[in-house]
Structure 1
Amino acid sequence: MKRSVAFALVASASSLAVALSAPSAGAIGLTAQAPPAASPDTPAQAADRLVESEPAILRASPKDRFLRHSALATKDGLNYIAYERTYSGLPVYGGDFVVVTNSTGGVLSTSVAQTEPLSVSTTPKIDAAKAAEIARTQISDPAEVAAPKLSVMAQGRGRLAYEVLVTGADRGRESKMHVFVDAVTGEVAEKSDEVRDGSGASYYNGPVTIGTSGSGTSYSMTDPARPGIRCGGQGGTAYTGTDDSWGNGSGTNLETACVDAMYAVSQEWDMLKSWLGRNGIDGNGNGFPARVGLSDVNAYWNGSYTNFGRSQDGQRQATPIDVVAHEFGHAIFQTTPGGSSGSNEKGGLNESTGDVFGALTEFYANEPAQYDPPDLSVGEEVDLVGDGPIRYMHKPSLLGDPDCYSSSVPNMEVHAAAGVQNHWFYLLSMGSNPTNGQPVSPTCNSTTVAGVGIQKAGQIFMGALNRKTTTWTHQLVRKASLEAAIQLFPGSCTEFNATKAAWNAVSVPAASGEPTSCGSTSNDFSMTLNPASASVQAGQQATSTVGTQTTSGSAQSVTFSASGLPSGATASFSPASVTSGASSTMTISVPANTAAGTYNVIVTGDGASVDHTATFTLTVGTTGNVVFNDTFETDLGWTVNASGTDTATAGKWERGDPAATTSSGVTLQLGTTVSGSNDLVTGRLAGTAAGDYDVDGGLTSVRSPEIALPSGTLTLTFSWYLAHLNNASSSDYFRVRVVSGSSNTVVFQQLGAASNRAGAWQTATVNLSSYAGQTVRLLVETADASTASLIEAGVDDVKITKS
């Protein structure tokens, strides 16, 4: 789509996850079960295919690899697929991004903060011990320093740094400080603290009903309907009682404080579900505990639980609705893409996020005037230090915080810096001249802004958070919220115009690549290739018809391009663009010197509202009977832990030259391959002991690129081995699956046993004819699934032929 995605061929890297059913048990299976009919790409598959096509917007380098981190589907039909990046095997801090699709897999937009491809040395000049020493000085009372992790920061062309977590206390308050120490100069590149300040008798909310557990004479302040939500004292254990009546309504009673906290977070949980389509505080149906009785004029979130103190005069606990929802708002910020650690500017946006969720929860609860009625002031009920609210969202400058964005805001103290986004949210929700009793809000550009209401404003804000990246700035929030307004309210310009007007009214400049108009995203199309594969000799051409069909809304212009071609090959389209419903002919010209092999060509249809991709499998230099062939001497795009759900802590699959290992006279990992010098192997290094790099901790998987299967009789062959000692069991395994659409089938399996099994190459043959005409992937899995066992596995010479 012209608005936000430009496509170009960069490095070969991909990540595709598929929901897997429970593995089949039993003996080796050598024949595939008949699969279900091919289904359209899932939204996550569509996003993965876009990543495989390497759009220039990802700022990818040849050393980058991508891993799908999460995929969130919301009730409005949008899908947010988040990715992490590595560079030369090191995690890239700030290299993450989010792809947004509709329910049919059409790519709507991308959220990428990285500004250019990385090109940096990965050899440190200071050691990890020195980095730890530097990091521990960043808080006043360090208790523990975690092992430094070498990483690349996505700053300019890249910055090599150690990430160090320092826990303890800082100036008397709990601290979990993430410190990035430059691995060349020893300077502190960045740091951020994970700890963010910030039926019962209730103090703030009158008689309320809260979720508790138990029966008879044994009850607990643990919410059975909202997993993870419980409340207790500073020891972390939920309060218990002999009856289900809690608190006495006093501002100094801690059980009463828990009633308020439990009620507030239950309202926030329900608001997230009803208004914003989010499942629980963490987005996956879970929440976090609350503690009360903190001996401090404060409340905070520490990355694991919320903690609430008291007012300065000691008469009230800091547990009104907006304060509780604020602290749990930090948990929401942390569990959306991009996490919570980052720059000072991100810290200010995090604080504002807490305020926004506090306001949303107050409006959802909608209590009468004698309790905690809805408003957009922060902490007015607790009156923390005797001066009224902590912050005003309609006019932050009433307490000295900025109403308008300026170059000084990113470096401000984070609670003060919250003012700009708070002011924006007020204008977006209420407008500059509300008629519902809320106060007038002056704008920085003297304009009048019409609000869209608290619920729509919350949906737009949540849509922006679902696009969050590790690097997060006011301009990136502006861009993300404008995209959210378009995609959440297709066919309407009201929400987009209000969102843009509110940002202009608080002086946040336009971001590069942000949408400038409210074009509809309800228009969609589908794209097919016929045929989806071809085999040619070097010097020849392959052709395919690219068909399009309007699937919703109006027809749109679609422009075609291709990536993933062999070196020197070209793809042309006649015509180069069509109106959806029409077709184009793709011609791939293969140079005479093209190396034999199978190439996955990603064909992209760049629409005016949405983008779609499809894979064309091009086999060069065969006699026509080889559909797919990989000896692992070059990288054809196999992806380790493509689903992001592997549990193995060591011995993960990798392509490379393996080292031999033995234990107790048993050959385990084979140092020889079937052909060439490389294979797929679980932890290719030998280590000091045989168990150093074997599979540990559970499952490791590796997934092939897409393979378009022609019609006819199809046969999969591959070389394999599974080796283990007698500490293995039948819970351990080596498996091969065929993934087609959203379904998968185990087509080969070898279980472990309580006996020594030496590594030895064997050949497996599987009939894939029932998958003819479908696009599939192979998924290879190995698991140390029970008690710790010494497990090794290898794969080589994977081939699919047609006869």
Structure 2
Amino acid sequence: MRKTLAAAGAAVLVAGGIGAGLAASAQAGPSIPSRAQAISTANGALTAHRSAIHASSSDTFKVRRVVTDPTGATHVRYTRTYHGMPVYGGDFVVHNAPGGSYAGVTVAQHRTIAVGTSAKVGAATAAKTSRADHQGKVTGVGDPRLVVDATAGTPVLAYETIVTGFQADGQTPSKQHVLVDADTGRTIRSWDEVENVAGTGQGLFVGTVDLDTTQASGGYEMVDPSHGDGYTCDLNNSTSGTCTTLTDSDNKWGNGSNSDRATAGVDVAYGAAMTFDYYKQKQGRNGIFGDGKGVPSRVHYGNNYVNAFWDGQQMTYGDGAGNNAPLVEIDVAGHEMSHGVSEALADLGYSGDVGGINEANSDIFGTMVEFYANNSEDPGDYDIGEKIDINGDGTPLRYMYHPSLDGASYDCWSSAVPQSDPHYSSGVGNHLFFLLAEGSGDTQYGNSPTCNNSTVTGIGRDKAANIWYHALDAYMVSTETYAQARQDTLKAATDLYGQCSAEYQATQSAWSAVSVDGSDAPCDGTPDPTDPTTPPPGGGDNCDTVTSAAPQAIPDNGSVTSSIAVADCAGNATAQTKITVHISHTYRGDLQIDLISPKGDTARLKNANPYDGAADVDATYTVNASDETRDGTWKLKVTDVYSGDTGTLDSWSVQF
């Protein structure tokens, strides 16, 4: 009988085995709940476990997002209001295991809300305080609204006022949120919605590249139909007004120098496309906002503006010193657009630990975009903004492998980290990611020390990025701390690779190496037997484990069948027959894997999942094949159900 994959990646066939009755009572792969089913199950868990989310009788909740794992586990993210007022820090995620059983919650809020709904301070006073809190030019002050701030300690009633204008440099736009205590009239905290990276440019970076554009009357427009119609436009060195979409008569854009205003647009359009493609191909996210749409990219902003920023909706790039050094490097584009991703997924805050996590997230995925682009003019590395020369001496903005080399960032967590600028407290997350991806000590990207003098062995940047992204997607909340991030990435490592897998243990080691310790129990060094990446044990006679011969190509949008002939092996297979599969593939979510027994019965080992954008399959599945003789021809059928990606069935084996 056909059965589903277990949570750790193993497939278990029901009693009765892989033989008799299969055709008559075959089941599909894992039971994947619909969005409505996931919400209904989470709502039920929410009703039963209100105390776990610090709920009061005046709280109401609204579903923000639903994440469904290939195993059928779900993660439903909620926002909260109190007497109808928005609650900052009130977000939480309800986790349900495959089958719908309650698996816990991740909660941003620390205490139950018990505040009055009437302010002692007037709205006009709050607006005046908010305006005075702004350090730049103010062009507008919004109407204050009452909210609850539950981001730290005891929740308080507050006014939120949005002050618009420009930051202290006079050109960077500002959309500053100011929270004023509604009882005392004092500012609680503030943050700017416009997030940026400062630097000075040296030139244009990507060389000659292909661009997707749109034909228009009389020529072409820099509108990318392959990436959600994202477009690139020229602000003509203004800070407001019309941004004119770049056009060209012969579809040959720029000339490699600043004498052609379209040249900066080439870098920008390319960077936006690479960012879009990275998230879609590697993380299964279709566009920055997950809606398949591209975002505007505005070039030639301001006068001598040595900055680039994301304002919540679009990218904007200045021309740098002398209006002759546009800040259009690939990792700058990936960094800034990743602020949009983190906002959409977990709404990460911008103060305390979470501010550093927010910035580290953008550095991590800006770096991953740079590696993904694989551009010979700007190859991947772990330096941030290495070509914009912020210091004027050729050194980068930040060093992920050794953050303190910039003179301000933190290599290790300490009590000073939450009090620091997010661009410097990000060092802890950047260092963690480098150690997890590449390991400690001498590497090809630089020497990375550890804070506890340990040695960390990296698991590769793709696996490290998958762990971080899944944690962001399914577990992190708006008030995330580095200690919470340790736990959430360990949960993600468990989901993806198994409890106490090599990847899990590397995540533990990397966090400890940046002085972020946790209460998670140490592994004993023996990989979890349910870990899909753990190879089956050897031993026994020649009939114990039989492996396939030469690798076979998996045709795009087609299938391949590989056979293993077993002969002179007496007796039946077992109820714990192991099928180990090694596949190299650029998008494993395309793949469906079936085992076909010598009698012709089929067991589904892996379903296709269009949202699983990771590469490769290295998994061990367990089937009950006790009704089958070992002798005969065992077949593995791998089907690529979508077009656009290719791979190879490297090998597979049967262990009876």
The normalised TM-score by structure 1 is 0.56
Q: 1:77 to 1:233 in 2, by over 3 A?
A: farther
Superposed counterparts of 1:2-13, under 5 Å: none
Deviation (angstroms), 1:367: 2.4
The letter for the 2-side match of 1:284 is D
Alpha-carbon shift at residue 311 of structure 1 (Å)? 4.1
Separation in 2 of the partners of 1:303 and 1:314?
25
Is 1:153 the counterpart of 2:152? The answer is no
* Counterpart check, 1:424 vs 2:432: yes
3-state SS of 2:143 partner:
coil
Structure 1: gaps of 5 or more residues: 1-38, 524-551, 555-803
- Check whether the contact 1:61–1:118 (CA below 8 A) recurs between aligned residues: yes
Pick closer, same or farther for the CA change 1:177–1:350 going to 2, 3 Å.
same
Q: Is residue 2:94 matched to residue 1:93?
A: no
Please say if residues 497 and 531 of structure 2, whose CA atoms lie closer than 8 Å, have aligned partners that are also in contact.
Answer: no
What is the CA–CA distance in structure 2 between the aligned matches of 1:239 and 1:520, rounded to whole Å? Answer: 57
More strand, by proportion: 1
CA distance in 1 between counterparts of 2:70 and 2:284 reads 6
State the match for 1:287 in structure 2.
294
1:210: which partner in 2? Answer: 211
Query: Which secondary structure state, in structure 1, belongs to the residue aligned with residue 61 of structure 2?
Result: strand
CA contact (8 A) 1:312 1:385 kept: no
Amino acid at match of 1:249: G
- For the residues of structure 2 that align with 1:484 and 1:133, how far apart are their CA atoms? 45
Match of 1:116 among 102, 111, 118: 111
Higher helix share: 2
Per-residue CA distance 1:256-278 (angstroms, 9 max, x = gap): 11111111121121111221222
2:275–2:333 CA contact under 8 A, matched in 1: no
Q: Structure 1's 240 and 196: CA in aligned 2 closer, same or farther, altered over 3 A?
A: same
CA contact (8 A) 2:348 2:480 kept: no
Query: How many Å apart are 1:210 and its aligned residue?
Result: 1.7
**Residue identity opposite 2:147 in structure 1:** S
The correspondence for 2:244, drawn from 225, 237, 244, is: 237
In structure 2, relative to structure 1, the CA distance for the partners of 1:151 and 1:515 (3 Å cut) is: farther
Query: Partners in 2 of 1:109 and 1:251 — Cα distance?
Result: 55
Pairing 1:507–2:515 present? yes
Partners of 1:56 and 1:519 lie apart in 2 by 33
Find the aligned partners of 1:137 and 1:449 in 2 and give their Cα distance. Answer: 48
Aligned length: 480
Question: Take 2:456 and 2:261, find their aligned partners in 1: how far apart are those partners?
Answer: 43
Contact 1:486 1:521 in 2 (8 A): no
Shift of 1:218: 3.1
Residue 223 of structure 2 aligns to a residue in which SS?
coil
Shift of 1:101: 4.1
Which of 51, 63, 71 is 1:68 aligned to?
63
Task: Tell me, in whole angstroms, the C-alpha distance in 2 between the residues paired with 1:238 and 1:483.
Answer: 44
Q: C-alpha deviations, 1:355-393, integer Å up to 9, x for none?
A: 11111011111223xx01110101112223423211100
Equivalent position to 1:465, from 457, 472, 492: 472
Query: Once the two structures are aligned, what percentage of the paired residues are identical?
Result: 38
How far the C-alpha of 1:428 sits from its partner, in A, is 0.9
* Shift in CA distance, 226/439, structure 1 to aligned 2, threshold 3 Å: same
Q: How does 1:129-278 map to 2 (within 5 A)?
A: 129-139=124-134, 140-154=136-150, 155-171=152-168, 172=170, 173-198=172-197, 203-215=204-216, 217-227=218-228, 229-234=230-235, 235-251=242-258, 253-278=260-285
Asked if structure 2 preserves the Cα contact closer than 8 Å seen for 1:54 and 1:60, the reply is no
- One-letter code aligned to 1:72: V
- Retained in 1: the 8 A contact 2:115–2:157? yes
Give yes or no for contact 2:348–2:477 (8 Å, CA) kept in 1.
Answer: no
User: Is 2:417 the partner of 1:386?
Assistant: no
Q: Which of 19, 34, 47 pairs up with 1:52?
A: 47
Letter in 1 for 2:337: F
Cα distance in 2 for residues equivalent to 1:492 and 1:217: 61
Residues 411, 439 of structure 1: alpha-carbon distance in 2 compared, 3 angstrom cutoff: same
2: distance between equivalents of 1:164 and 1:519?
51
Moved over 3 A (4+): 72-80, 100-109, 251-254, 310-315, 514-523
CA shift, 1:520, in A, is: 8.5
Alignment equivalent of 1:298, drawn from 294, 307, 317: 307
Aligned equivalent of 1:334? 343
Which structure has more relative contact order (CA 8 Å, sep 6+)? It is 2
- Cα distance in 2 for partners of 1:106, 1:243 equals 60
SS in 2 for 1:446: coil
Q: Deviations over 1:648-701 (max 9, x none)?
A: xxxxxxxxxxxxxxxxxxxxxxxxxxxxxxxxxxxxxxxxxxxxxxxxxxxxxx
- The one-letter code of the counterpart of 1:383 is D
Indicate the RMSD between aligned Cα atoms, in angstroms: 2.7
After TM superposition, list the pairs within 5 Å mapping 1:405-416 onto structure 2. Answer: 405-416=413-424
Deviation at 1:185, TM superposition (A): 0.3
Q: Is the 8 A contact 2:501 2:531 kept in 1?
A: no
Which digits, 9 at most, give the CA deviation of each residue in 1:42-77, with x for residues without a partner? 223222221121243211122222111222346686
5+ residue gaps, structure 2: 1-32, 198-202, 236-241, 533-574, 578-656
Q: CA deviation at 1:118?
A: 1.6
How far did residue 445 of structure 1 move? 0.5
Partner of 1:345: 353
- TM-score for the superposition, normalised by structure 2: 0.69
The amino acid that maps onto 1:123 is S
8 Å CA contact 1:149, 1:162 repeated in 2: yes
1:273-314: CA deviation from partner (whole Å, max 9, x where unpaired): 221222211123233211111231111111221111234465
C-alpha distance in 2 between matches for 1:516 and 1:56 = 29
Decide which moves more: 278-287 or 74-83. 74-83
SS of the aligned residue for 2:227 comes to coil
Where does residue 502 of structure 2 map in the other structure? Answer: 494
Deviation at 1:134, TM superposition (A): 1.0
SS at match of 2:57: coil
After superposition, the Cα gap between the structure-2 partners of 1:247 and 1:417, relative to the gap in structure 1 and judged at 3 Å, is same
1:177-196 CA distances to partner (integer Å, 9 max, x unpaired)? 01111000011111111111
CA shift, 1:425, in A, is 0.7
Q: Hey, what's the Cα distance between the residues in 1 that align with 2:260 and 2:514?
A: 42
Q: 1:271 to 1:521 in 2, by over 3 A?
A: farther
AA aligned to 1:333 is S
